[in-house]
Structure 1
Amino acid sequence: MGRRFFELLYCGNHFIRTNKFAAFYLNSMFYHSSKDAPSLQWYQNEFLKVKELTHLLGNVDEVNARLVDVKSNSTFFDDDIEREMSTFKSLVRELVGSAIVQHKMKHVQASFITNAKHESFTPFSKATERDHMVVDSLTKVSNFLNVSAQQRKVVHLRVCPQVTQHRIWTGALKEVLNDFAVDLDFLSSQGLNNDALLRGQIVHSCLKFLTEIGVFSDTESSSWMKLSPSKMLASDPRKWDVLVMFNDLIECCKKEVRLKFHVAKAEIMKEGLLHIKDVSVDNSVGYKEAQHQESLVRKKLSKMLGHSSRCIFTLLLYYLYGRVVDIEVDMRGGVYANGSDGKFCLFMGRILTSDSEKMVGRGVKQLDRALGIFKFVWEMAGMKGNLDLQGHMWCVGADSRVVRYRGNTYFVHGICL
């Protein structure tokens, strides 16, 4: 019955209405918080539940608390499936910490890495290394890497001039709005968007504003070379009044739970908009004045957005990956010294519901983005030593193997007892 319900979820729709009683239920306790060392019998019992959940959740991924059907690459909402996914990942975290899985993982690493210099180390042996983490600020990354206060200042000074460029700032705003628009459209198609017209008009107005200041023109052209799409009086230059529209968008969407992540990201970008609200954005002026306007935006954002700012981190995500969604990892991992020659290894993990090529590919790319942010900060801070990157993915019934991607190593581990 549970399996049949799950198959009916994917009928080509992006969003599915919640049915709290249709899904297959298992006990939704979070097992990884247990203080007592579980017995072998406990592991065996929970492994059976993990197998059942793997069967139920096959080809479903969860990214930033949003469920994704990997086959169709569509997102959907379902409270029951979300709870089962949380239970599934909680159980897997506990199983990964078991002596049996740890021993097998160590053997797999030894088989694939012939030059391993730290044979006594096994990733994710500590409970804290198996905790979930959302990477959403430079401060969180710096704390993880033990970056000193002085080095954090260096990171801020090096990062800000790059991520506050006009094309990065406006491009990130566009990405936030386009993400908003996509989900608003799908909600409307399902009859779930009560204020569809108003919300859509606000998003359209914001995008129109950004278009009119030359955001989406050829990136090879400077702003002063772009033709102004509308005539504006010299005595009444435009300001960054898109801030008012962002406030309106947040206000009319904040009660819709399905849009909470978009609302949160809009709130984050508001921080930057507040600091530049009085800067002119008239692109009908000459070269020097246009350059001055863009320079003012850059200077104000660099000065006012501190190291802990989630706005500056969002700009960094867009600068590096062309995306604005915060990065999430199922297991936060850690850093360990890889030998005595100044080498370190950063490792993080993902939990998969299948080992299909698509699912593994998604896992690798998600880990690559997460690991890449940490290495970027490591290098910007001038940390001593070379930082190698290593990703791990777990799935019931998977064949243990290694995937190489962009020069880094990603392990696929099969879970079995």
Structure 2
Amino acid sequence: MDFLTLLLVVLLVVGISTTFWSLVGIGRSLGEVYRRVTSPRGDGPPPGTPDPGAVAILIAAHNEAASIERSLRAAAQLVAPENIHVVSDKSTDATVRIAQELGVNVLDLKVNRGKAGALAEGIRYFELCDRFEVVLILDADTRPTKDYLTTGLPLFADPGVVAVAGRAKSIVGTGRAPLLGRFLVAYRDRLYLIVQLMLKYGQAAKAANVVNIVPGFASMYRTSVLKHIDVAGRGLVIEDFNMTFDVHARKLGRIAFHPSAAVAYTEDPDNLGDYMRQIRRWNLGFWQTVRRYRFRFSKFWVNLWVHIIEIVVSGVLLLTLLPLLALSLIFDALPPEMQRVPMPLDWLANVLPLEAVLVGVLLPDFLLSVLAAAVLKRPVYLLFGLLFPLVRMLDAAICLSQIPRAFIPAGSSGIWTSPKRRDAIGHPPMRAVPALESRSVDAA
């Protein structure tokens, strides 16, 4: 394998888009350092920053009794309980009771509408776009940090910013958790770091504005723009890709993201079954949204389709990695007189020699684990990183398998099931808040 071919393999494994936007992100970071040195800011948020009292928190929940109390207590450190709104989507457990006991606003839906439908109904029922300046959408297992608003709201000081994408960090389990569970959570933790630092940070540069997802786990929207977004997105299994694409399609404004702003912790699946179901749902939702909006002539859609081509090609590459490597090893083990095979088989046997796999695929991936271990201060990721390529292959298989499903016009039933929740550490401590006056409304 020549140098150019090896370089192409490396770029496909790391990501051509990731490489490009990493360079843009480096340039953005240097620009921020220069501005801090030459024009130091004064104390306090910049002019135009919304007040935390003008922020509504909206949580859609379906049978989240195991996790919603911790999330609500974390949310209550950001805003007053009367600013927190929970939409229970036909929960059959203690979700509604727990929310009521903490004194937040509760809408108890008797018909299962799915997460997107529950959010849309909550926005309408509570009149959030008329009563607040910003809506913070949280998942029922999300733990926002104490400085989520103080770091995130200043990004709205730019009047062109219509949404702030939250930065995700994984809630890392205890050492008592099963080894496979800790491994899967570590992989997601690494993925969040790589995607957000090496991709999204550059994509969110003011001149770029090509962020392709405002994650629904913990992100903010201006209400003046939220009222124009199709939140429900009928027939789609997830809402956050759809809402983000709608912002770009309607040219509503800029999506802001910064690694040090709007940080929140999310609970990732720590068993293989839930992990596969969640990855399947995310990928199906992505392809459904691509199908819905197709292609439009703008830099966002050009960047998106370059990314799509890349993930399909790299996915095929990863899935053919092991068969090609096995063929190469078998071919090399044969005696010379048996290596005279037809030309196509000979080419396949030599297209991926062992050194190419080590240098072009495994080494770049392991270097990403080294970066994650250093930044996140988790040396165990160096050990886990040796097997992370296997999870990437699983992700690639799931991603590609959902493409044909996305083009079947069955749509989403609206029924959703949360992964099994767990006791975990790794999120910031939360002070207790007393139970407040209970309020609840029912809606069909």
TM-score normalised over the length of structure 1: 0.27
Q: Relative contact order (alpha carbons < 8 A, sep ≥ 6): 1 or 2 greater? A: 2
